[in-house]
Amino acid sequence: MKRATVEVCVCTECLMNGAMEIIESVESLGQLRSQLRLKAQIQIETAKCLGEPKHGDKSPLVAINGTLFEKASSETVMSHIISLSSKDVKR
Name the residue ranges covered by the structural domains of the chain: 2-86
User: Given 3.20.20.100, 3.30.70.240, 3.40.30.10, 3.30.230.10, which CATH number is that of 2-86?
Assistant: 3.40.30.10
| Residue in 90, 77, 83 with CA at minimum distance from that of residue 38 | 83
Contact at 8 Å (CB) between 29 and 42?
A: yes
The string of pLDDT tens digits covering residues 36-69 is 667 778 899 999 888 777 787 899 999 999 999 9
**Residue in 14, 16, 40 with CA at minimum distance from that of residue 26:** 40
pTM of the model: 0.83
pLDDT of 1 reads: 59
Q: What letter does residue 56 receive in the DSSP assignment?
A: G
Query: Rounded to an integer, what distance in angstroms lies between the CA atom of residue 58 and that of residue 38?
Result: 29
